[in-house]
Structure 1
């Protein structure tokens, strides 16, 4: 039996990842600020156990308790795989740093970087000594290696997530049954985040037209297809712990 925890699971890529994992051999935990909605019925219809934890991953002080809540009903003895997929993310503020509010900048870094860092650390502690294969997938972005005017917090947080992955990967390589920790950029995916980007002011985000054109020309990747590629990457043991990848380079 396999157990997976997916953050940002109520919509977009997170929802697609959760649906892709609705398999007979999987038990799932979804985390999001909103309810499970139709996902609960869908999982039940497929005979898949789905627990839902409503939480705000921007609240750094609550993150360790959230992970402890997730593990309160997980029996490690019956698992061959335990996995954490840090998918939750926010793009706002879409504006130069000098214009963005401090509150918005803090929330961006909290959700995109602090949350996956703290959740991963707690996951590693709570699964220490387990016999199950331990997997962590951090959903990153090409913006972690390319600067965009108007995305300073987003680019910085994704770059930080990639470096965190490299460091933890090196740490886990030295451990017995160390976790395999990967960071993977999904490419430009047709989700609500892309709608927000296209709605941004070109004065605040000069690259807006590029994303408008990607959408109008039909070059956005589908969420379902991208979720399948991300999971294929996660399960591919040729990628060593600490790898920072882009699915567009792989498939």
Structure 2
């Protein structure tokens, strides 16, 4: 009997935001071999050069599906036009041509962690942060699900790349914690409203990325800086590949309650 990893995701449209580096980059590389010929891997990010590099890497990889079409969209998801451009590119794939829709809402930013909550007096600063980190995720998800409605033979799955910060407050991280908590609840509501849809909030754990470097370098709170620096020095950070592998295993086994929050260390 074939394992879940061997069977893969079938012929799919797979959309990954924030695909130009870190977790999104690794996710694109690891999921490509699990997509059958005829699938489309749609990669979105603000950096066109990095997306083109990833696209070339996937094309040269022997592990990638021979019939996989990789498309790139350079988009600022903090802007309405950026969200619309990703949806428009996704619509180039006909719904009847796929049997699996996968949307990974990975794009996010840490925000200004060099200050404490009481210093955020400028509403426009928070509005801009929430537009990119919260509003865009809902608008993009809604647009994609509308473009690819439920039908017989189509499995639809939406993944929100979450964080421990969605459920635990971190000093001097008011913007990031607020955004992650809002996104988790947003997708929990979606799971309640759409019972046929598979929804997962996945916290990938402490990753060895540029964001972690920013965390241990610029956090206003001294204990936060020390905690992240110790994790780095002691080799307790996860690679993106480790975390992606666990996420893909969960998705392939498809045995989680829709809308749940799962952490890397829960699995």
- TM score, norm. by length of structure 2: 0.85
Residue of structure 2 equivalent to 1:142: 164
| Range that drifts further, 25-34 or 208-217 | 25-34
Q: Residue deviations 1:38-95, cap 9 Å, x none? A: 2111222243311000000111x22551243122311221211011000011002102
| Range that drifts further, 64-73 or 23-32 | 64-73
Distance verdict in 2 for CA 1:77–1:141, change over 3 Å: same
- State the alpha-carbon separation in 2 of the partners of residues 120 and 236 from structure 1: 23
Shift of 1:149: 1.4
Shift of 1:141: 0.3
- State the alpha-carbon separation in 2 of the partners of residues 219 and 111 from structure 1: 30
Instruction: Kindly indicate whether residue 110 of structure 2 is the aligned counterpart of residue 97 of structure 1.
Output: no
Instruction: Kindly indicate whether residue 209 of structure 2 is the aligned counterpart of residue 191 of structure 1.
Output: yes
Task: Look up the SS of the partner of 1:168 in the other structure.
Answer: helix
Residue of structure 2 equivalent to 1:66: 85
Q: Residue deviations 1:94-130, cap 9 Å, x none? A: 0212334545433332222112111111122111133
> Aligned to 2:14, which of 4, 25, 32?
4
- State the alpha-carbon separation in 2 of the partners of residues 125 and 37 from structure 1: 28
Q: Deviating runs (4+, > 6 A) in structure 1? A: none
Alignment of 1:1-251 (within 5 A): 1-23=11-33, 25=36, 26-35=39-48, 36-46=51-61, 47=66, 48-59=68-79, 61-62=80-81, 64-94=83-113, 95-100=115-120, 102-131=123-152, 132-173=154-195, 178-201=196-219, 203-204=220-221, 206-250=223-267
Task: Look up the SS of the partner of 1:138 in the other structure.
Answer: strand
- State the alpha-carbon separation in 2 of the partners of residues 52 and 150 from structure 1: 35
- State the alpha-carbon separation in 2 of the partners of residues 83 and 185 from structure 1: 17
Count how many residue pairs are aligned between Structure 1 and Structure 2.
Answer: 244
Shift of 1:166: 1.2
Task: Look up the SS of the partner of 1:238 in the other structure.
Answer: coil
- State the alpha-carbon separation in 1 of the partners of residues 95 and 28 from structure 2: 20
Q: Give structure 1 stretches of 5+ with no counterpart.
A: none
Shift of 1:32: 0.2
Task: Look up the SS of the partner of 1:121 in the other structure.
Answer: helix
Query: Is the contact between residue 137 and residue 234 of structure 1 (CA under 8 Å) also seen in structure 2?
Result: no
- State the alpha-carbon separation in 2 of the partners of residues 171 and 76 from structure 1: 22
- State the alpha-carbon separation in 1 of the partners of residues 207 and 95 from structure 2: 34
Aligned alpha-carbon RMSD (Å)? 1.7
Task: Look up the SS of the partner of 1:30 in the other structure.
Answer: strand
Q: Give structure 2 stretches of 5+ with no counterpart.
A: 1-10
